[in-house]
Amino acid sequence: MADDSIAVVDLDRCQPDRCSYECKNYCPPNRTGKECITLRGEDTDEGQPEQIHISEEICLGETCGICVEKCPFDAIEIINLPKELQNDPAHRYGENAFSLYGLPAPQDGQVTGILGPNGIGKTTAIRILAGELEPNLGRHDEDVDWDDILEAYRGTELQDYIAAVRDGDVTVARKPQYVDQIPNTFDGNTRELLEQTNERGALDELVERLSIGPVMDQSIDDLSGGELQRVAIAATLARDTDFYFLDEITPYLDIGQRVTAARLIRDLAEKEDRSMLVIEHDLAILDLLADTLHVAYGEPGAYGVITAPKSVRNGINEYLSGYLDNENMRIRPDPIEFEEHAPRAASHTETLVEYPDITKSYGEGEFSLEVEGGTIRQNEVLGIVGPNGIGKSTFAKLLTGNLEPDTVGQDPTETSSGQSPLDAGDADLDLDISYKPQYVTIDQHMRVDAFLSSITDQFGSSYWNTEIAQPLQLERIMEQNLADLSGGERQRVAIAACLSDSADLYLLDEPSAHLDVEQRVQATSAIRRYAEQQDATVMVIDHDTYMIDLLADRLMVFDGEPAEHGRAGAPQPMRDGMNDFLANLEVTFRRDERTSRPRINKPDSQLDKQQKTDGEYYYA
């Protein structure tokens, strides 16, 4: 096969005892007597199942691809690597396994970002830089040691770093991607967890700035996702190491908390001259956070390429445009574009429901919420924004009838018969609502396909496949058990389940959590298309500004004092909504000159001050 092709077999999927070796039987070289596809691990006494092996020497490459078509379990990929990829891999896990090209280059005093999909080798790269994984330079059948690796990276920006790793001189602190799993590995309260990490004497400041104080004596088991995220960030930044690696800092955090976490990371780099490496999928925050950016692209699960560092501005712009300039590489057919001016509200849509003023409190002295009555329009995507703990989920529960309101005010839809769609004590708006909660807890022992087909009889139809399964990348996980899914997979199944139900209103709470940047883009367009084509009304609660911008027709803004009292304003046009919302946060956005992409302004910069004076926080 051509030098620039690889064959990748997913050994978790390959199960020759359940097919009749179709790949092997149909492979053209095999049919002429060559040993292209063979079996390995036949010695079942050692408990190794029989699996296939593809000779990359003999295989004819992507233009053949017969085995890929024949395999019933989607276990095989034959890929022509891009011609532009001239270097050897940094690491390959084995023959027919994932290979990684390029490594990020952390720099003292800088925040280095990595932007790209999951499964593209980011964790592999980090394990190499942390000295946990000795890369084999793609020569998986040879003995490669750190001296060989140093030789391969001589003269590059990684030379000094690799020399230090070889000498065992690099110390590393890491924040894991899935904070929800921390309670499984730690028994105790927040204070006990954090005190173990207090190596720089900076813990008190971190606890204060991340507002962890109120949960210091709470058991780790009882923390919410947002609290766990902040505790995990504090625990990582409190350590005294050379190199800090943070795998996603934003899931479950509101925008204020995201900006604070970004500033803490920047401070540690700038003031203490540390190297920070951050993987982040919220592009507005990544832009604020990083000094340089590596874009990662490739074929998730098969190969990944980490580009040389780019300026953050160029990296994000190129990513959004779908084309990497220096690499001469198209990574997506279409660009992602932002509207510079607030979209004009559509005037023709009909009203789905008008709801009255509502109040709800959880008891004497506990959280209370005031909802200003408003209108939800048929066929719109309504964005819902506001800090954590301000009553967004409470509002959702009032709408779904899972909570009863305390008082219901003047009802604008009251008819002459005096019938109200929402009475105190009866929160039923007479609407069927399909709800995806913030914390997705579908973990029964049931296969994804069985679960989804129990929700809709559209399951498997070509319409459903095109509009739901494909954009949410469900095909490859259909046969898996819900309980075995990763956070991002579970999120995609939950979004699909929510949209597949038949309902008057679809309510998605933080659909971006754990989705990589490419999946966010795809989920955004799936949700929008669904709303347009099904005449569906969708409400989306999210903290990713770009996602809300690309999704929402109008905005509903929550403000107040988190955990004490919240106020929900009526839905309003995007421009007014963004201004209200960002004024509460004191954050302004400017436009990138080349792409019109919104970028967070530096506080107190001239633009920031001017925009605040003008009252234009977003569409300036």
Q: Which is nearer to ligand SF4, 63 or 502 (CB)?
A: 63
User: Least separation, in Å, of the C-beta of 194 and ligand ADP?
Assistant: 21
6, 8, 9, 66: which one contacts ligand SF4 (CB under 6 A)?
Answer: 66
93 lines the binding site for ligand ADP (CB under 6 A): yes
59 lines the binding site for ligand SF4 (CB under 6 A): yes
Strands (DSSP E) contained in 65-179 are 76-80, 91-92, 99-101, 111-115, 172-175
Of 179-187, 322-330, 385-393, 469-477, the segment contacting ligand ADP by CB under 6 A is: 385-393
User: Least separation, in Å, of the C-beta of 284 and ligand SF4?
Assistant: 42
15, 40, 53, 60: which one contacts ligand SF4 (CB under 6 A)?
Answer: 60
19 lines the binding site for ligand SF4 (CB under 6 A): no
CA angle, 417 then 419 then 423, to 5°: 155
Of 66-74, 93-101, 428-436, 443-451, the segment contacting ligand ADP by CB under 6 A is: 93-101
Nearest-10 crossing angle of helices 487-500, 517-534:
0
For residue 9, the partner it binds in ligand ADP, ligand SF4, none, with Cβ less than 5 to 8 A by kind, is none
Nearest 10 degrees: CA dihedral of 528, 529, 532, 534? -120
119 lines the binding site for ligand ADP (CB under 6 A): yes
24, 92, 122, 377: which one contacts ligand ADP (CB under 6 A)?
Answer: 122
Of 371-379, 383-391, 424-432, 439-447, the segment contacting ligand ADP by CB under 6 A is: 383-391
Residues 38-57 that bind ligand SF4 (CB under 6 A): 54
Please state the φ and ψ torsions of residue 250, each to the nearest 5 degrees.
-95, -20
For residue 28, the partner it binds in ligand SF4, ligand ADP, none, with Cβ less than 5 to 8 A by kind, is ligand SF4
188-211 burial: b if 16+ Cβ within 10 Å, else e: ebbeebbeebbebebbeebbebbe
268 lines the binding site for ligand SF4 (CB under 6 A): no
Please state the φ and ψ torsions of residue 277, each to the nearest 5 degrees.
-125, 125
Question: How is residue 430 written in tokens?
Answer: 């007479």
Q: What is the three-class DSSP state of 408?
A: strand
6, 8, 14, 37: which one contacts ligand SF4 (CB under 6 A)?
Answer: 37
Strands (DSSP E) contained in 216-373 are 243-247, 275-279, 292-299, 303-306, 310-311, 323-324, 329-330, 351-355, 358-361, 368-371
Please state the φ and ψ torsions of residue 288, each to the nearest 5 degrees.
-75, -30
Contact string 297-336 vs ligand ADP (x = CB under 6 A): ----x-----------------------------------
Q: Which is nearer to ligand ADP, 377 or 543 (CB)?
A: 543
Rounded CA gap, 291 and 310, in Å? 9
Task: Name residue 587's amino acid.
Answer: V
Binding site for ligand ADP (CB under 6 A): 93, 97-98, 118-124, 301, 362, 366-367, 388-394, 563
